[in-house]
Amino acid sequence: MNDLAGKHLVLGLSGGIACYKAAELCRALVKAGATVQVVMSQAAEQFITPVTMQALSGRSVFTSQWDNRPSAGVDNQMPHINLSREADAIVIAPASADFMAKLLHGRADDLLSLMCLARPLERVPLIVAPAMNREMWAHPATQRNVAQLRADGTHVLGVGQGEQACGETGDGRMLEPEELLDEIVSFFSPKPLAGRRVLISAGPTWEALDPVRGLTNRSSGKMGFAIAQAARRAGAEVDLVAGPVALPTPRGVRRVDVSSALDMQAAVQAMAEQADVFVAAAAVADWRPASVAEHKIKKDGSGQVPALQWVENPDILAGVAASERASRGDLFCVGFAAESQDVLAHAQAKRVRKGVPLVVGNLGPETFGRDDNALILVDEHGSTELPRASKGDLARQLVADIARRITLK
């Protein structure tokens, strides 16, 4: 996906063992469509070579303010000016405790710090990814510096927690490359849902027959998780109620794991009280066994199949759509219709039956477990097709459409 297509980023490396993560971050930024100019401090060169970063970025790396090569196409021996002027943002990853102290006090004794100080504040944002020992991170001086940098307009990211190169464990690790990429993409994403709270259900449900068997479906949850990520990048606070899936939680999203339809109903109803938007992307089982066997149901050799009694599960979406908040327009509800045929007709009927303003239809057999999809958006005025694309791209389109609808209503 080209989440950063058209963006030019300066990736700055200060000294620290986390420089090895900067290599993967650079690669990820390029894959996301950005052009990347790497600038390294002398300390960073002790941990990773400019040759590595040049190979990954496809551009010559700058390390000294005295470098007399042309920079950004300008031959004036002022790389600290030229490199910052063409950037859409400067990303410092890793940012050591010492380098953040430099930024705070406006010290500029090398190319990297000079460039940060010389950047046009109104159009070249500075994004900083701290990386240091847990005691250094917790030190009052560091925390004061972080607070003041944020007050000065620097976008200081959080830190990770875990084992550190020194052998200690705690806060202070630089975020992982995929987390940093998500933060950078989110930074550049429009925020049409800022101030909104979005609730999303995703994945299948599991209706137990006995302790080891149950009724479920092939939903992977990928579409719902992509919508959660897109909504968060659009500025929303996001709650995700997830059935049994093997997917990582999108960064910045609050997740509640459930199993059965009744579990999902309870979680959704509780969270819907605070939501502005509810997207019911989960594939909820229509029925559940009337009773669950205490032990595994065994074959007895008779060839007879055990008789099972079924109970219809509650309609989670219809219940939320009929709530007082949804009825008076405070909660915008979106349904999903995963069909095997006649998607448009079934989606139109489902929209009316559920009493919701928007239903998203797709062919289940052509999307379950895949990374791409094709959608049909159905409302009271007709339908709009979203051609097959990655689920991430479709999620962004859907979130933008929802944001437009709730802004206009």
pLDDT at 207 over 90: yes
Summary mean pLDDT of the chain: 95
Active-site annotation holds for 26? no
Architecture of the CATH domain 197-289+309-408: 3-Layer(aba) Sandwich (3.40)
**Where do we find the tokens 């003041």?**
148
Confidence class of residue 409 from pLDDT cuts 50, 70 and 90?
A: low
Percentage of residues in the chain having pLDDT higher than 70: 100
Torsion sign (Cα): 104, 117, 234, 264 = negative
Helix (H) or strand (E) holding 398: helix 391-408
Closest CA to 9 of 125, 154, 179: 125
- The tokens for 379 are 């409302």
Q: Which residues of 283-317 are buried (b: 16+ CB within 10 A; e: fewer)?
A: bbbeebbeeebeeeeeeeeeeeeeeeeeeebbbbb
pLDDT at position 330: 96
For residue range 128-163, list pLDDT tens digits in order: 999 999 999 999 999 999 999 999 999 999 999 999
Q: One of 19, 26, 116, 166 is an active-site residue; which one?
A: 166
d(CA 9, CA 30): 10
Confidence class of residue 368 from pLDDT cuts 50, 70 and 90?
A: confident
Domain 8-188 and domain 197-289+309-408 have a common topology: yes
Chain-centre distance of CA 159, in angstroms? 17
The one-letter amino acid code at 70 reads P
pLDDT at position 1: 65
Task: Give the residue extent of every domain in the chain.
Answer: 8-188, 197-289+309-408
pLDDT at position 199: 98
Specify the CATH number for 8-188; select among 3.40.50.1010, 3.40.50.1950, 3.40.50.10490, 3.40.50.720: 3.40.50.1950
pLDDT at 231 over 80: yes
**Are 36 and 7 in contact, with CB atoms under 8 Å apart?**
no
For residue range 240-279, list pLDDT tens digits in order: 999 999 999 999 999 999 999 999 999 999 999 999 999 9
- The tokens for 199 are 């609730």
CA distances (Å), origin 398, targets 306, 326, 403: 44, 20, 9
d(CA 312, CA 288): 6
d(CA 334, CA 360): 7
Q: What DSSP letter does each residue of 283-321 carry, written as one string?
A: B--SEEESS--SS-----SS-PPPP--EEEPP-HHHHHH
Of 60-69, 175-184, 253-262, give the lowest mean pLDDT range: 60-69
Confidence class of residue 232 from pLDDT cuts 50, 70 and 90?
A: very high
**Are 13 and 42 in contact, with CB atoms under 8 Å apart?**
no
Q: Which residues of 225-237 are buried (b: 16+ CB within 10 A; e: fewer)?
A: bbbbbbbbbbbbb
pLDDT at 89 over 90: yes
d(CA 211, CA 18): 45
For residue range 291-345, list pLDDT tens digits in order: 999 999 988 888 888 888 999 999 999 999 999 999 999 999 999 998 888 999 9
Q: How much is the pTM?
A: 0.92
d(CA 81, CA 75): 11
The one-letter amino acid code at 358 reads L
Chain-centre distance of CA 133, in angstroms? 27
Q: How many residues are present in the chain?
A: 409
pLDDT at 72 over 80: no
d(CA 244, CA 202): 9
**CB neighbours of 295 closer than 8 A, spacing ≥ 6?**
210, 211
d(CA 185, CA 150): 19
pLDDT at 69 over 90: no
Torsion sign (Cα): 157, 161, 167, 168 = positive
pLDDT at position 220: 94
pLDDT at 4 over 90: yes
pLDDT at 388 over 80: yes
Percentage of residues in the chain having pLDDT higher than 90: 88
pLDDT at position 372: 93
pLDDT at position 74: 76
d(CA 173, CA 161): 6
pLDDT at position 77: 79
pLDDT at position 365: 79
Measured in Å, how far apart are the chain's first and last C-alpha atoms?
Answer: 32
pLDDT at position 6: 95
